[in-house]
Amino acid sequence: MPPQFSDHRQHIDHLVKAVLRAADPALAIERAWQSDHTDTFQLIGIGKAALRMALHLNHIAPSQISGGIVTAAPVDLQSVPTQLPFEVWPALHPLPDERNEAASRAILQLAEQAGPQDELVVLISGGGSAHLTLPLPSLTLDQLARLYQDLMRAGLDIQALNTVRQQCERLKGGGLAQAIAPAQAQVYILSDVVGDDLQFIASGPTVRPQTTAHHALDILKEAGLVAVHPEIADHLGRRAAEGEALYEAFNHVTNHLIGSNTLALNALEREAETMGFTIAGKQHDVTGEARDVGRALAQRAELLCMEAVRPLVYLIGGETTVTVAGTGLGGRNQEVALAAAIELAGQEKVALFSFATDGRDGPTDAAGAVVTGQSVQQAAERGVDLSACLRNNDSYRCLSALGALIQTGLTGTNVNDVAALLVY
Q: Tell me: the pLDDT tens digits for 255-299?
A: 999 999 999 999 999 999 999 999 999 999 999 999 999 999 999
Confidence of residue 38 (pLDDT cuts 50, 70, 90): low
Over residues 304-318, the mean pLDDT reads 91
What is the CATH number for 178?
A: 3.40.50.10180
d(CA 389, CA 386): 5
Same domain, 247 and 270: no
Q: At what angle do helices 158-166 and 141-153 cross, to 10 degrees?
A: 160
Q: Given this model, what pLDDT does residue 188 score? A: 97
Q: How confident is the model at residue 163 (pLDDT cuts 50, 70, 90)?
A: very high
pLDDT at residue 139, as a whole number: 98
C-alpha–C-alpha distance, residues 187 and 80, integer Å? 23
Whether 270 and 254 share a structural domain: no
Is residue 246 pLDDT above 70, yes or no?
no
Residues 333 and 398 in one domain: yes
Q: Where are the beta strands (DSSP E) in 117-172?
A: 119-124
pLDDT of residue 292: 98
Domain boundary among 260, 287, 309: 260
Total structural domains within the chain: 2
Residue 1: which pLDDT band, with cuts at 50, 70 and 90? confident
Instruction: Give domain status of residue 191, yes or no.
Output: yes
249 and 266 co-located in one domain:
no
Does position 24 have pLDDT exceeding 70, yes or no?
yes
Range of the domain at 266: 262-423
237 and 296 within one domain: no
Same domain, 326 and 381: yes
Tell me what the pLDDT averaged over the chain comes to: 95
C-alpha to C-alpha distance for 106 and 133, rounded to whole angstroms: 11
| AA letter at 363 | P
In the predicted structure, residue 419 carries a pLDDT above the cut 70: yes
* Among candidate residues 114, 126, 234, 130, the one with its CA nearest the CA of residue 180: 114
From the list 72, 37, 79, the residue with the least C-alpha distance to 58 is 37
Q: Strands of 417-423's sheet, edge to edge?
A: 278-286, 312-318, 417-423, 350-356, 368-372, 405-406
Neighbours of 327 (CB within 10 A): 8
Distance CA 214, CA 236 (A): 7
* Domain contains 9: no
Do the domain assignments include residue 13? no
297, 239: one domain: no
The arithmetic mean of pLDDT across residues 35-44, rounded, is: 83
User: What is the distance between the alpha carbons of residues 219 and 217, in angstroms, rounded to a whole number?
Assistant: 5
Provide DSSP, 240-309. HHH-PPP----TTEEEEEEE-HHHHHHHHHHHHHHHT-EEEEEEEEE-SBHHHHHHHHHHHHHHHHHH-S
The domain boundary residue, chosen from 260, 277, 306: 260
Of 237, 260, 283, the one marking the end of a domain is 260
Same domain for 294 and 398? yes
Regarding whether 231 and 134 lie in a shared domain, the answer is yes
The pLDDT tens digits of the residues spanning 355-376 come to 999 999 999 999 999 999 999 9
Instruction: Report the CATH number at residue 343.
Output: 3.40.1480.10
Cα–Cα nearest to 417, from 294, 312, 325: 294
- Distance of alpha carbon 130 from the chain centroid: 11
- For the chain, state the CA radius of gyration: 22
Residues 90-120 have pLDDT tens digits of 999 999 999 999 999 999 999 999 999 999 9
What single-letter DSSP state applies at residue 321? B
Residue 155 pLDDT: 86
Q: How far apart are the first and last CA of the chain?
A: 12
